[in-house]
Amino acid sequence: MRVAVLGTGGVGQTLAAKIAELGHEVMVGTRDVQAALDRTDAGWGAMVFSDWHAAHPDVKVGTFAEAAAHAEVVINATAGAASLDALQAAGAKNVEGKILIDVSNPLDFSSGMPPTLSVCNTDSLGEQIQRAFPGAKVVKTLNTVNMNLMVEPSLVAGGDHHIFVSGNDAAAKAEVTRILKEWFGWKNVIDLGDMSSARGPEMLLPLWLQLSMASQGDLVTIKIVR
C-alpha cells in the first residue's frame, strides 16, 4: 500500500519506519524538504531528520502535497497546532476520497507545561479537520498513546489495553481497525462513533499527561474493563 506520513517529528518517524518495515511504500511529507534535511536539531523522541532518513533510505521524502498525492492512505502526524495548515498545504484534491488517519492532538504549550487543549468540549481537532476536508474519510485514532505504543502495543501489559477510533465513514473505520490490528498488533480497538466522539479521546490527553508525570514515564495507556 502507498502511505503518506505527514510530519517529520518523533511520531512521524516512528510510524513511517514501522510501516516501511512491513513492506509498504511510504513517503514522509514536510513543508520544505531541504529545510527538513538541513535541520540539526530534533524534537522530543525524534532523531535529527537527515540521520533518520539515512537509516531508512527506502522511505521517500516529499512536500506535504507530493506525499498526499502519492498515497492511498494519509496519516496526519503533525503537531496539532499546525495540522490544519499542513493539510491545507497537502491540498484538498490530494486527500479527496482517501482515508485520512489523524493521530494529532490539540495541545497548547503557550503557557508551558502541562499544556492545555486549544479545542475541547463542543468541538475537536478531528472534527475541524473533517469540516475543512469534507471529501476525506477522516478517522481519529492512536492519539491516546505515545509513539512507541502506537506501533508496538505489546510494550504494556502484553498489549492488553485499548485504542479508539472515531469517524463518520464506517468502511474507513473498519479499514483503519484492520490496519491497527494487522500492521501494529492492536488486540482491542473500540469504535466510539462518529467524528464528534473524537472529543473524548482528545480530552483524555490532560489525564494521560498527568499519569505520565506521576509514573515518571510515558508507557501508560487506557484499559477498558466491562
The span from the CA of 162 to the CA of 222, in Å, is 6
pLDDT recorded at residue 166 = 98
> Could you tell me how far CA 119 lies from the centroid of its own chain?
17
- In a domain, residue 149? The reply is yes
**Grid cell 479527496 — which residue?**
96
The span from the CA of 218 to the CA of 149, in Å, is 9
- In a domain, residue 99? The reply is yes
pLDDT tens track for 120-137: 999 999 999 999 999 999
Q: Residue 128 corresponds to which cell in the numbers above? A: 475541524
Q: What is the dihedral of CA 206, 111, 43, 176, to 10 degrees?
A: 30
- In a domain, residue 153? The reply is yes
The residue range of the domain holding 76 is: 2-215
* Domains contained in the chain, number: 1
The span from the CA of 163 to the CA of 190, in Å, is 6
3-state DSSP assignment of residue 101 = strand
pLDDT tens track for 45-104: 899 999 999 999 999 999 999 999 999 999 999 999 999 999 999 999 999 999 999 999
- In a domain, residue 178? The reply is yes
